[in-house]
Amino acid sequence: MITFTGTYFDGKTSKAHEVSVTVLGEILSIRGQEVHEDVELRLCSPEPALGNTHRTLYTPGGGRLDTHDGQAFAALERLRGGKRSFRFVHWMESHWKVAAAAVAITVGLVLCFSVWGIPYFARVAAFSMPEKANQTFGKGVLESADRHFFKPTELAGDNQKRIRSLVEEFVYRSGAPEPRAFEFRKSPFGPNAFALPGDTVVLTDELVSFVENDGELLGVVAHELAHLENRHALRTVLQSAGVFVLVSVIVGDVVSVTSAAGALPALLLKSSYSRGFEREADDTASQWMVDTGYGVRPMIAFLARIKEKEPDVIGPEFLSTHPAPESRIDRLRELAERSGAEPQ
Amino acid sequence: MENSYDSFILEPLSEDTELPTRSLTPAFTGSGGEYFRIWIVNVALTVLTLGIYGAWAKVRTRRYFYANTVLDGQPFDYLAKPGAIFRGYLIVGGTLLAMKVLNNFVPRIGTIFSAAAICVVPYLLYKAHRFKARYSAYRNVRFRFTGDVRGAYAAFAVFPLAAVASLLFMMSSFLGAYGAIAVMIVMISGMGLATAYPYMMFLQRRYFHGNMAFGKTESSFTGESGPFYGIYLRSFVLFIAVPLIVGIIVAVFAGTIKSLSESGESLKIAGLAGTVLLTYVLMAFLAILVQQYIFARTFNYSWGHSRLGQVTFIARLRARDLAWIRFSNLIAIFLSLGLLIPWAKVRRARYILSCTTVLLSGDMGAFEAAVVPEEGAVGDTAADFFDWDIGW
């Protein structure tokens, strides 16, 4: 027999009844000044234990029984049987050692998801998408870029034609993917090139006049073509959707995803992914450059001059979408040495 | 604790004040350490189950906060079923994710989504109010929300639609064609919007405070729009004063550093970094102050003019206390890499409750329960996801 005292609310009014409770066999008896209830224990639903709060049980008639006698209530639960899952959760929540383990598990899992999980799923999804979907993706990006910051090119027609045929030949010889559109624009960003979603490559006028030779130009183009080859634009979108899911899972029940607490880690993760893609593009591009006989040296020279030109705009690497030029140069040198294509 | 309100005159608030008016302060009985363990187990299980446990975690979290909010010796209860919240998660999360991905494939679909959002959000808020009320209880009597959809659109859609309309007008070619007249129209519509904003906030508060019910007892809201204008006017003054104050402090600081740093280059760099950091910190603190000022004053006014049968409320939140709590919480969370989130949450809840007084001129046991139909969780999930403040 289990006995304890508690407070009973009949569910019809807010009146509190002080009651004494007895459990005998299958029957739960609640007795108070105005309360006289006998109910079958198996039909009652006890609320799972939570922290140090009172224990609660609902009777089949909608009555509610509260008690602070945790021990007696636990005995009642054992007698009633039923689901044990939340007893385990409560046990976990009551121990600091489990809490410490939970911190470790959370950090470990989040790291695994960020480092391997999200990039892996994004890659698989991006490459299992049909070519057609990849091409419709990002439709209109160039139009909107034209509206907002690009200006029509001022390059001479001959020069454009010469570069186009240079790229065509490079594509043919290296096996790089052929862009669906190859465009020139005047841009406020200085020397730059873009691989836009939908397989479009854009070179800025400033870039064309900045490069010192065809090798440097093709190095930049190869880097952009490598973005296309690896479907980086699509993977970026898929990965940021993954980051969105991950962050909302973690901070979802605390602060909203839209707040700074969620936005900052998401930003750091996304720029880290972006740096990964840049490295991947450098790797692929340098391979093509070696294959076509231009070698890696023009790419290194170009990066070195970019670094000289804009030493200030480059912030700390962990905030940037591109790796620092020095680390890109070091990596390219290493690749060149490993392939033995050229001593530097 | 500041629980003695002797200086406060308890006016007779209703006609039948037979019983002496009792003044009750809700207490928060939870602790940061206990909630930390619940929180971290929730987070670990949620990540481990790829998000599925999230719905159960949410119910446990809310139950913890409700069960530890004790008024007149009795706790509150949160009764939502995790299954319903899980369905809400699937619908809201699925829609958002689809929008996020589709946005890249279909040009200009973002505009359509935003337009749809303005139309859907008031309905979601209406549902969110109903859901939260339906699954909140005290002394085994459930709360209810009696507001209707039309009220939600009046409070939550009219102003955003007007704002979007005037924004579109501003960007339209009309502006270029008619010059001065157009500029005047823009200015007038801008002033109109600024004037309408406090009124919208008033409507939103009234929608909540005037449409709650505890069992069969329905709430009434006697607040008016005037004080909302006062609150926003003062916050606007704060908003203007803030950059001025920050500017002066930073200028003094930078001047001191400059006079000190004549001697060395490294000190100069440190001084520059210090100035930038000081500006950021001050701006953040003062922005929080303005935000919390609005929250505190609106909260105090709205609760102070609400009545639930024989129950009335007094709220005495102070903007500077709230701003300090928010600011130091942010720093603590940042320095602890998030581990102090539970502590911060408990701290804020405890402060808000300690500033609230419930005046009861009658019997707390005399409220009658009402039958309320079940409610879907989509609105609640959406409100939670976007951090819409629905007044709980």
Q: Are B360 and B24 in contact (CB under 8 A)?
A: yes
Position B8 scores a pLDDT of 41
| Chain A (124-143) residues lying within 8 Å, Cβ to Cβ, of chain B | 133, 136-140, 143
Q: Which DSSP string do the residues of B268-299 spell out, in sequence order?
A: HHHHHHHHHHHHHHHHHHHHHHHHHHHHHHHH
Position B267 scores a pLDDT of 65
pLDDT for A123 beyond 60: yes
Q: Where are the alpha helices (DSSP H) in chain B?
A: 32-48, 54-67, 82-102, 109-134, 149-156, 158-171, 174-209, 226-260, 265-304, 319-335, 341-354, 378-385
Taking residue B247's Cβ as centre, other Cβ atoms within 10 Å add up to 12
Segment A112-131 shows an average pLDDT of 88
The minimum CA-CA distance between A88 and chain B, rounded to whole Å, is 11
Position B358 scores a pLDDT of 94
Q: Which DSSP string do the residues of A258-286 spell out, in sequence order?
A: TSHHHHHHHHHHHHHHHHHHHHHHHHHHH
Is B132 in the same domain as B29? yes
- The SS3 assignment for B124 reads helix
Which of B47, B214, B386 is facing A110, going by the closest CB pair? B47
Q: Is residue A107 part of a domain?
A: no
pTM: 0.82
Contacts of B51 in chain A (CB under 8 A): 245, 249
> Among B277, B304, B331, which residue terminates a domain?
B304
Q: Is residue A117 part of a domain?
A: no
What is the domain extent for residue B251? 225-304
Which of A317-321, B19-23, B206-210 is predicted with the least confidence, judged by mean pLDDT? A317-321
Contacts of B387 in chain A (CB under 8 A): 255-256, 258-259
Q: Predicted confidence band at B298 (pLDDT cuts at 50, 70, 90)?
A: very high
Which of A13, A89, A106 is facing B40, going by the closest CB pair? A106
Q: Is residue A103 part of a domain?
A: no
Is A156 in the same domain as A30? no
- B265-281: per-residue pLDDT in tens? 666 667 777 778 888 88
pLDDT for B3 beyond 50: no
Q: Considering chain B, what is the average pLDDT of its residues? A: 83
Chain B nearest-CA residue for A15? B365
| Strand order, beta sheet including A2-9 | A36-40, A27-32, A17-24, A2-9, A64-67, A55-58, A45-46
Q: What percent of chain B has pLDDT over 70?
A: 86
Tokens of A181: 């559109």
Which of B36, B41, B369 is facing A89, going by the closest CB pair? B41
Nearest 5°: the CA angle B283, B285, B287 is 65
Is A202 in the same domain as A334? yes
A70 to chain B, any CB pair closer than 8 A? The answer is no
What is the domain extent for residue A57? 2-93
> Among B289, B304, B319, which residue terminates a domain?
B304
- A252-263: per-residue pLDDT in tens? 544 444 456 667
A98 to chain B, any CB pair closer than 8 A? The answer is yes
Position B18 scores a pLDDT of 58
Q: Predicted confidence band at B17 (pLDDT cuts at 50, 70, 90)?
A: very low
- B310-340: per-residue pLDDT in tens? 899 999 999 999 999 988 998 888 888 888 9
Chain A nearest-CA residue for B32? A51
How many domains, chain A? 2
Q: Is residue A99 part of a domain?
A: no
A264 to chain B, any CB pair closer than 8 A? The answer is no
| Strand order, beta sheet including A151-152 | A151-152, A181-186, A200-204, A193-196
Q: How far is Cα A11 from Cα B370, in angstroms, rounded to an integer?
A: 9
> Among B281, B304, B327, which residue terminates a domain?
B304
Contacts of B358 in chain A (CB under 8 A): none
Position A229 scores a pLDDT of 87
Q: Are A72 and A4 in contact (CB under 8 A)?
A: yes
DSSP state of A114: I
pLDDT for B367 beyond 70: yes
Position A317 scores a pLDDT of 63
Segment B296-320 shows an average pLDDT of 94
The minimum CA-CA distance between A107 and chain B, rounded to whole Å, is 9
pLDDT for B159 beyond 60: yes
Task: Pick the residue of A33, A106, A109, A247 with the most B CBs within 10 A to test the interface with B by mutation.
Answer: A106
> Is residue B339 packed enough to be buried (19+ CB in 10 Å), middle (13-18) or exposed (0-12)?
middle
How many domains, chain B? 2
Position A320 scores a pLDDT of 73
Segment B249-262 shows an average pLDDT of 74
Contacts of B58 in chain A (CB under 8 A): 252-253
Is B353 in the same domain as B292? no
Position B1 scores a pLDDT of 36
A254 to chain B, any CB pair closer than 8 A? The answer is yes
Is B286 in the same domain as B345? no
Q: Are B229 and B198 in contact (CB under 8 A)?
A: yes
Q: Is residue A282 part of a domain?
A: yes
The minimum CA-CA distance between B117 and chain A, rounded to whole Å, is 16
Task: Report the residue count for chain A.
Answer: 344
Hey, are the CB atoms on A253 and B369 less than 8 Å from each other?
no
- B162-192: per-residue pLDDT in tens? 888 877 777 665 555 666 777 787 788 888 8
Position A263 scores a pLDDT of 73
Is A80 in the same domain as A6? yes
Q: Tell which phi-psi region holds residue A19, choosing left (phi > 0), alpha (psi between -120 and 50) or beta.
A: beta
Q: How far is Cα A305 from Cα B2, in angstroms, rounded to an integer?
A: 67
Q: Is residue B3 part of a domain?
A: no
Q: Are A302 and A211 in contact (CB under 8 A)?
A: yes
Which of A84-88, A155-159, A262-266, B71-75 is predicted with the least confidence, judged by mean pLDDT? A262-266
- The b-or-e profile of A162-185 (16+ CB within 10 A means b, else e) is ebeeebeebbeebebeebeebbbb
pLDDT for A78 beyond 70: yes
Contacts of B77 in chain A (CB under 8 A): 56
Q: How far is Cα B80 from Cα B142, in angstroms, rounded to an integer?
A: 11
- The SS3 assignment for B2 reads coil
Q: Is residue A272 part of a domain?
A: yes
Segment A320-329 shows an average pLDDT of 81
Q: Is residue A292 part of a domain?
A: yes
> Is residue B310 packed enough to be buried (19+ CB in 10 Å), middle (13-18) or exposed (0-12)?
buried
Q: Is residue B390 part of a domain?
A: no
The residue with greater pLDDT, A342 or A300, is A300
| Chain A (192-221) residues lying within 8 Å, Cβ to Cβ, of chain B | 197
Is A30 in the same domain as A145? no
First vs last C-alpha separation in chain B: 23
Is A134 in the same domain as A254? yes
pLDDT for A344 beyond 70: no
The minimum CA-CA distance between B121 and chain A, rounded to whole Å, is 16
Position A81 scores a pLDDT of 79
Q: Is residue A122 part of a domain?
A: no
CATH number of the structural domain spanning residue A18: 2.30.29.30
Q: Is residue B1 part of a domain?
A: no
Is B42 in the same domain as B155? yes
Q: Predicted confidence band at B9 (pLDDT cuts at 50, 70, 90)?
A: very low
Contacts of A106 in chain B (CB under 8 A): 40, 43-44, 47
Q: Are B158 and B189 in contact (CB under 8 A)?
A: no
Q: How far is CA B138 from CA A16, A51, A61, B305, B365, in A?
A: 11, 19, 17, 21, 11
Hey, are the CB atoms on B40 and A54 less than 8 Å from each other?
no
Hey, are the CB atoms on B40 and A50 less than 8 Å from each other?
no
pLDDT for A308 beyond 60: yes
Is B278 in the same domain as B315? no
Is B200 in the same domain as B276? no
